[in-house]
């Protein structure tokens, strides 16, 4: 039935165009003779050669594919195709008619006039049909939509809404801060005001839904737009961020709810993809902790760059299975070797390095949950310190080209077990670099949005339960970046490291966790302090009000990339670090927690670990503080 319907539609379109040929041909004669009667001799000659014109022009129309398109979506490319077909048809007809009649009783001016009229008669009905469909059928058929942003994304969004067969939405107006666009129309939809007038436009135009079409907006701009949308009390949606569009994780026609990543995510990072690709492409790459938040995103980015082999070392069975399945589906030609195991297992790691011979190793495996590790000193030391030494030393033995360790801002002046163990791992890699052919590079950054164990998944769960949302302190602040940005900058740092450096990612401005909690409540459609309370519970063991990216003795220096800084290393004797870690291993083997803590303090003199005995805290006993919408 569909085939028959298509044939009928094509046949009707072809019949329409054939009917236009004699109208244009005789109309051209009429124009030639100044809209007066056509002399009989010229008219008879014109009628005699009309079948030839129709045969040639019809064949040319079919050859140019005028009937592959659909009138409903006729556009400028269709007009261009029609114009080309008419020009070729007119030129061919003129040559054939010249050979037949030597143009006796055939005015030469008839040909251009005929061409112009034919283009108008064929294009006009198509465009008129689309206009009627777009501007009459859908009017008042669905929810009225206000579109924020009259750029290319906004134009694409309006076009898609107009073409929607269900006519669920009616584009009513644009708002845009570009004064040059004010008063203009895009597909019949007017740009009526600036973004600051969103509330007024919503009230005056009876808007039902706001669609934010500004994928290039900075986080500050996005926060301002969202704040204006929140004041209207109606739903709002947004297009994906530019980062997601560029990476292929989303397309321009995908609307979604505004997420906290949209508000806290930062400007798109410009990367030297040529240098990154040269580092990764065709290389054997190993990622430890490849099933975690950072490790799995590293695997995705690396897989996209075409490595010879990607080896994923992960001790979590489910996490390893999930990332393997995802990469196999997205990159079917990728040479992938998943390995289930622990970085601290010397037999396993030695075997993996011997069999796969990785050239580049990204070490993302670590325990990172600060409060939990305060009472798990032994396991933190075993995984974060001994595991790092095992993997790093074996990479040195097997002659790997580069070892990139993923570290944290909590390693600077650490107040907790997690930060202290990561700092020891940094020291070990820096010292090993002095005697190794392998380049040992450390990359340090802050919190990652929506990573496993972060506050965002916790806040989402608490909001879903109806609250309260628990924040440890009203003044606590943290640095945030997206997982994608963090991993891409790790890859960038790996291209510029010569060995022994600590690269620190520019985390931008820190964000108040209270602001984060309030915004997430607002984005859920609730009001902080009214629908869902924010409860302040007090700092947890090992938690600081703020984190630092540099130690006082680590002088900052710029790198070729504006988002990556370099910290000058602090020397620690190789013998001391090796001997100390040997003692640490012995203490771990004997489960001597006090000795483990003493060794960590000796290795990290700035260590400010506070051993706090606690049986947990009562959320209901916290203080409820009214939340006000303020920028961080």
Q: What are the boundaries of each domain within the chain?
A: 2-135, 138-258, 273-603
Residue 236, pLDDT > 90, answer: no
Strand pairing category for 336-340 and 309-314: parallel
- Which of 451, 475, 448, 450 has its CA nearest to residue 543? 475
- Count, in order, helices (H) and strands (E) of the chain: 22, 23
- Distance set, CA 127 to CA 121, 170, 430, 439, 573 (Å): 11, 20, 68, 64, 79
Q: How high does pLDDT run on average in the chain? A: 80
Residue 260 has pLDDT above 80, yes or no: no
**List of residues 6+ apart from 149 with CB closer than 8 A:** 174, 176, 212, 213, 214, 217
Residue 315's φ and ψ, nearest 5 degrees, are -90, -10
CA 488 – CA 323 distance, rounded (Å): 18
The total number of residues written for the chain in this structure: 632
| Both structure tokens of 249 | 């994780």
Collect all residues with Cβ–Cβ distance below 8 Å to 613 and sequence separation of at least 6: none
pLDDT attached to residue 626: 37
Same fold, 138-258 and 273-603: yes
- Measure the CA–CA gap between 442 and 362, rounded to whole angstroms: 10
Tens-place pLDDT, residues 374-399: 889 999 999 999 999 999 999 999 99
Contact 345, 276 (CB under 8 A): no
Give residue 474's pLDDT: 83
pLDDT digits (tens, 9 = 90+) for 447-481: 766 565 567 778 888 888 888 888 888 888 776 77
Alpha-carbon distance values, 482 to 61, 455, 458, 504 (Å): 53, 14, 17, 15
Q: What is the pLDDT of residue 467?
A: 80
User: So what's the pLDDT on residue 300?
Assistant: 93
Asked about 410 being catalytic, the answer comes back as: yes
CATH 3.40.190.10 fits 138-258, yes or no: no
Instruction: Tell me if 206 sits within 8 A of 144, measured CB to CB.
Output: yes
Task: Return the pLDDT at 458.
Answer: 80
Q: Does the structure show a pLDDT above 50 at 72?
A: no
| pLDDT of 357 above 50 | yes
The sign of the CA dihedral 401, 406, 409, 414 is negative
DSSP letter string, 181-210:
GTT-EETTEEEEE-GGGHHHHHHHHT--EE
- Predicted confidence at residue 130, as pLDDT, reads 67
225 and 212 Cβ atoms separated by less than 8 Å? yes
Residue 618 has pLDDT above 50, yes or no: no
Report DSSP state, residue 292. Answer: S
Please name the residue that has the structure tokens 């595991």: 387
Higher local confidence (pLDDT), 347 or 12: 347
What pLDDT is stored for residue 9 in this prediction? 62
Least confident of 120-124, 250-254, 560-564: 250-254
Is pLDDT at 45 greater than 70 in this prediction? Answer: yes
Range among 65-74, 147-156, 181-190, 335-344 rated most confident: 335-344
Half-sphere exposure of 265 (CA within 13 A, CB side): 23
Sheet bearing 209-212, strands edge to edge: 185-186, 189-193, 169-175, 143-148, 209-212, 236-238, 256-257
Question: pLDDT tier at 551 (50, 70, 90 boundaries)?
Answer: low
- For 168, phi then psi, to 5°, come to -75, -20
Tell me whether strands 534-536 and 480-481 are parallel, antiparallel or unpaired: unpaired
The residue among 226 and 590 whose pLDDT is bigger is 590
d(CA 298, CA 294): 6
Q: Which of 181, 283, 368, 410 is catalytic?
A: 410
Cβ partners under 8 Å of residue 72, min gap 6? 129, 130, 133
Euclidean distance between the first and final Cα of the chain, in Å? 61
Residues above pLDDT 90, as percent of the chain = 33
Contact present, 147 and 171 (Cβ < 8 Å)? yes
Give the domain 273-603 fold: Rossmann fold (3.40.50)
What average pLDDT does this structure show over 246-271?
55
């Amino acid at each position: 039935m569909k085939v028959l319907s298509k044939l009928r539609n094509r046949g009707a379109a072809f019949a329409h165009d054939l009917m236009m040929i004699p109208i244009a041909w005789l109309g051209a004669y009429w124009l030639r003779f100044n809209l007066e009667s056509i002399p009989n001799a010229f008219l008879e000659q014109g009628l005699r050669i009309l079948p030839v014109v129709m045969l040639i022009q019809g064949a040319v129309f079919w050859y140019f594919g005028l009937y592959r398109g659909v009138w409903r979506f006729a556009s400028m490319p269709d007009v261009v195709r029609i114009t080309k077909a008419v020009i070729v048809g007119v030129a061919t007809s003129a040559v054939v008619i010249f050979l037949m009649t030597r143009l006796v009783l055939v005015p030469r001016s008839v040909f251009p006039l005929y061409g112009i009229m034919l283009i108008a008669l064929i294009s006009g009905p198509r465009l008129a049909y689309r206009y009627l469909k777009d501007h009459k059928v859908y009017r008042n058929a669905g929810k009225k939509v206000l579109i924020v942003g009259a750029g290319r994304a906004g134009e694409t969004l309006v076009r898609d809404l107009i073409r929607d067969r269900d006519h669920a939405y009616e584009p009513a107006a644009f708002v845009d801060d570009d004064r040059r666009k004010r008063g203009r129309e895009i597909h019949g939809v007017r740009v009526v005001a600036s973004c600051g007038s969103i509330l007024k436009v919503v009230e005056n135009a009876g808007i039902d839904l706001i669609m934010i079409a500004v994928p290039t907006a900075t986080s500050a701009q996005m926060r301002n737009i969202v704040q204006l949308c929140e004041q209207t009390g109606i739903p709002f949606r947004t297009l994906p961020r530019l980062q997601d569009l560029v990476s292929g994780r989303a397309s321009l026609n995908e609307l979604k709810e505004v997420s906290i990543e949209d508000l806290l995510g930062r400007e798109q990072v410009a990367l030297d993809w040529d240098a990154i690709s040269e580092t990764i492409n065709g290389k054997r790459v190993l990622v430890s902790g490849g099933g975690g938040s950072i490790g799995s995103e590293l695997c995705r980015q690396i897989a996209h760059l075409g490595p010879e082999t990607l080896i994923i070392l992960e001790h979590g069975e489910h996490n390893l299975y999930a990332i393997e399945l995802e990469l196999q589906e997205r990159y079917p030609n990728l040479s992938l070797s998943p390995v289930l195991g622990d970085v601290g297992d010397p037999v396993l790691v030695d075997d993996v390095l011997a069999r796969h011979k990785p050239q580049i190793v990204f070490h993302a495996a670590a325990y990172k949950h600060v409060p939990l590790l305060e009472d798990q000193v032994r396991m933190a030391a075993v995984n974060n310190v001994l595991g790092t030494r095992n993997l790093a030393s074996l990479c040195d033995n097997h002659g790997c080209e580069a070892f990139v360790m993923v570290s944290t801002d909590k390693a600077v002046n650490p107040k907790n077990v997690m930060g202290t163990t990561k700092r020891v791992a940094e020291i070990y890699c820096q010292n090993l670099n002095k005697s190794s052919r392998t380049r040992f590079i450390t990359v340090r950054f802050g919190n990652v949005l929506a990573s496993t164990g972060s506050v965002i998944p916790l806040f989402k769960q608490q909001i879903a339960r109806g609250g309260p949302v628990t924040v440890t302190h009203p003044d606590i602040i943290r640095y945030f970046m997206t997982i994608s940005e963090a991993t891409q900058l790790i890859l960038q740092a790996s291209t510029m490291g010569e060995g022994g450096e600590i690269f620190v990612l520019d985390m931008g401005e820190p964000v108040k966790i209270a602001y984060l909690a309030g915004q997430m409540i607002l984005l859920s459609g609730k009001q902080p302090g009214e629908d869902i309370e924010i409860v302040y519970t007090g700092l947890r063991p090992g938690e600081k009000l703020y984190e630092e990216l540099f130690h006082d003795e680590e002088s900052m220096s710029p790198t070729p990339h504006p988002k990556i800084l370099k910290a000058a290393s602090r020397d620690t004797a190789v013998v001391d670090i090796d001997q100390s870690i040997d003692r640490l291993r012995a203490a771990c083997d004997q489960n001597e927690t006090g000795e483990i803590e003493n060794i960590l303090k000796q290795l990290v003199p700035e260590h400010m670990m506070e051993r706090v005995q606690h049986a947990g805290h009562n959320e209901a006993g916290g203080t409820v503080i009214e939340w006000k919408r303020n920028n961080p």
